[in-house]
Structure 1
Amino acid sequence: MQDTTQLNKSKLGTKQYWDDFYAVERKNFKANEEDTGECWFDDNDAEQKMVDFLSDNIEQYSIESGSSMIDLGTGNGHLLFELAENDFAGPMLGVDYSEESVQFANEIAQSRGLSSTITFEQADIFSDDWSPGEFDIVLDKGTLDAIALSGLQIGNKSVVECYSTVVEKLLKDGGVFLITSCNFTQEELTKIIETDNLKVWETVDYPVFEFGGVKGTPICTIAFVKGVL
């Protein structure tokens, strides 16, 4: 099996690519405020499945309508805006290493009157100096996928190998980490994320396809819980 921490490098793993991408999306938004940019994994209905999972599991572990949330690699903030529209009213923070992304998401929040409850900031989530506190829920929709394409190292480890440490630092005990990936299978994602203190809780079902006698899905969503399983 391919080493999941050693995927081939791609421009999709570079900061410059995302700065350029969101600069174009900001320009489009300024011309038309209805154009809030791309919804990643929309073809698989992944964002709605993430929202539905949290809505269906209210009062399980740390999931409440007023839960604090952080969205890693937030992009245009679409996932947080969707959660707000589905009655999640707790403080939400979206972080991204692209300044253009953060400016774009803040502009959308201001246009929707949501800047008092949803905030965005530029951050290097792997920096020891970055410490935004602990949250009830940590979200990732495709961010680990992009990180895996960067080829970056922290010491003698890949950033993928360091990712679960970042998540653990951000989660309260009993907190939920909900992640969606298209680069990793469910088994690979579990291997990357699980630690002694961070365990699989639930998975989200997607349609199963069969090709060449092998069954699978092009995407997976897994919920992990910190410290209580």
Structure 2
Amino acid sequence: MEDTSKLNTSKLGTKEYWDDFYALENSNFKENPGDTGECWFADNDAEEKMIEFLMDNLDQQNIHRDCSMIDLGTGNGHLLFQLHEEGFNGPMMGVDYSEKSVQFAREISESQFPGYENIKFEAADIFDPNWECSAYDVVLDKGTLDAIALSGIKLDGDRSVVDVYPKVVEKLLKKDSVFLITSCNFTQEELIRIVESDSLKVWKTIDYPVFEFGGVKGTTICSIAFVKR
């Protein structure tokens, strides 16, 4: 059976693309401080649904108002800013391998939340074994696995970044903590097959509108919460 989770490479998987993208977004922000850049999956309300999911599951697993969070591939930091606006006030870290992205997120943070120190941003390669990181109560991914899956990069010999990704996530999670991921490139079944392991188990999923074409039903996006056992 063909493995449909294997994606073709694309410029969307390159650091150069995202450096250029966020440099332009930052330039637009400097001209218009009201323009804080793209909100990925806005058409599907994915960000709102991820936040609603965390709010609906407060005091379950390690989800609390003051829980620690890390956003992988944070981009402009929009998800973390919105979580803060909704009352999550624990330490938040946004990481991205694009320095331009991190610079942009920091400038937005300083502009919108001057003096607030609970949201921090760091440029980092999460696949670097020398990257020093803490363990968190909640790990977030909104389209990051989608992007890195397009890179074609091989690690540890011939293992793809998709193969290595779950181990990176496990390292970032405390016991009984939650990994909430949203994808538009992988189906729910594919995402479970990629992420689930002896340590990471499916907990809950987020519902999206279902379409039907040619007798086949599906969605254009999926979000799944895993728990580290």
How far residue 4 of structure 1 moved from its aligned partner, in angstroms, is 4.5
How far residue 5 of structure 1 moved from its aligned partner, in angstroms, is 4.9
Give me the whole-angstrom Cα distance separating, in 1, the residues matched to 2:40 and 2:107.
19
Q: Partner residue of 2:35?
A: 35
SS in 2 for 1:62: coil
- Normalising by structure 1, what TM-score? 0.97
What are the within-5 Å matches in structure 2 for residues 83-122 of structure 1? 83-113=83-113, 115-122=116-123
What are the within-5 Å matches in structure 2 for residues 1-229 of structure 1? 2-113=2-113, 115-154=116-155, 155-227=157-229
The answer to which of 139-148 and 153-162 deviates more is 153-162
Question: CA contact under 8 A between 2:5 and 2:186: conserved in structure 1?
Answer: no
Give me the whole-angstrom Cα distance separating, in 2, the residues matched to 1:76 and 1:132.
20
- Normalising by structure 2, what TM-score? 0.97
How far residue 117 of structure 1 moved from its aligned partner, in angstroms, is 0.9
How far residue 131 of structure 1 moved from its aligned partner, in angstroms, is 1.9
Give me the whole-angstrom Cα distance separating, in 1, the residues matched to 2:46 and 2:28.
24
Give me the whole-angstrom Cα distance separating, in 2, the residues matched to 1:118 and 1:29.
19
Question: CA contact under 8 A between 1:72 and 1:139: conserved in structure 2?
Answer: yes
SS in 1 for 2:134: coil
**Aligned residues between the structures:** 227
Question: CA contact under 8 A between 2:5 and 2:190: conserved in structure 1?
Answer: no
Q: Which runs of 4+ in 1 moved over 4 A?
A: none
Q: Look up the equivalent residue of 1:38 and give its one-letter code.
A: E
How far residue 8 of structure 1 moved from its aligned partner, in angstroms, is 0.3
How far residue 132 of structure 1 moved from its aligned partner, in angstroms, is 1.4
How far residue 173 of structure 1 moved from its aligned partner, in angstroms, is 0.2
How far residue 6 of structure 1 moved from its aligned partner, in angstroms, is 2.5
How far residue 156 of structure 1 moved from its aligned partner, in angstroms, is 2.0
SS in 1 for 2:162: helix
Q: Considering only aligned residues, what root-mean-square deviation do their CA atoms show, in Å?
A: 0.9
Gaps of 5+ in 1: none
Alignment identity in percent? 68
SS in 1 for 2:89: coil
How far residue 113 of structure 1 moved from its aligned partner, in angstroms, is 1.8
